[in-house]
Amino acid sequence: MDTVASKSELTFAAIVDTSLNMAAEEGIGKLSLGEVAKRTGLSKSGVFSRVGSLEALQLAVLDEFDRRFAGEVFHPAMNLPQGLPRLNAMMEAWIRRTANTDAPTGCLYIAGSFEFDDIDGSVRARLEQGVVRWRATLRRTVLQALEAGHLRPDTDPEQLVFEVFSLIVGLMHDARFLHDPKAADRMRNAYARLISTYRSFHYQG
């Protein structure tokens, strides 16, 4: 029984992994059970029996994206001191991940927000939830930087998060649409210039 369960879990994981790659390349709205079945070597009914519906598969893909994103961008930064060291580490990891056009690591939330901006439903709601949750994480990190005296007392956390997010959208556009090989470096320069306007004069980090 355990062997059967393990095989089923591995098959489900393979379906989600394949679907995540497809979503990163073509958009989460372009997923189809038929194409997933073709790429995994399963029947369409076999895929359906494991995921339940296309919508359920899309939600599972976003859950897996969250897990991988957190593992690459969020968790490593937690080993650093609170404040700007963490924020800078998260930004550098986010830049590397977004600009890596050799791997399907584009941001499903940024791409998905354009795909589903005018489409109501559970996928849009899940996309919005993910964006809001990540921006809240960034805001909390900014607040910690304020409390540590790394940023000027008049720093508006919401404004800084908005500006950082906007820079990442620009990076994704130039790296993945324009294929600009200098996009990541331009992003680093833009972030450094931005954070310098918020950094406390007393912080030497």
- What single string gives the DSSP state of each residue in 108-144? HHHHHHHHSTT--SHHHHHHHHHHHHHHHHHHHHHHH
Report the 10 Å Cβ neighbour count for 13: 12
Mean pLDDT by 10 residues, the chain (205 residues): 66 92 89 91 88 92 94 96 97 94 78 87 93 96 97 97 96 93 97 97 80
Q: How far apart are the C-alpha atoms of 118 and 140, rounded to whole Å?
A: 29
Long-range contacts, 123-127 (Cβ 8 Å, 24+): 123/28, 123/29, 123/55, 123/58, 123/59, 123/62, 126/58, 126/59, 126/62, 127/62
How far is Cα 79 from Cα 86, in angstroms, rounded to an integer?
Answer: 8
At 1 the pLDDT is: 44
CATH entry 1.10.357.10 includes domain 58-198: yes
> What does the domain layout of the chain look like in residue ranges?
58-198
Instruction: Report pLDDT for 113.
Output: 87
> What was the pLDDT predicted at 114?
87
CB 67 within 8 Å of CB 73: no
At residue 204, the pLDDT reads: 78
- List alpha helices for 148-182, DSSP H: 157-172
DSSP lists the bridge partners of residue 151 as 199
Residue 97 CB partners (closer than 8 Å, separation 6+): 69, 72, 73, 105
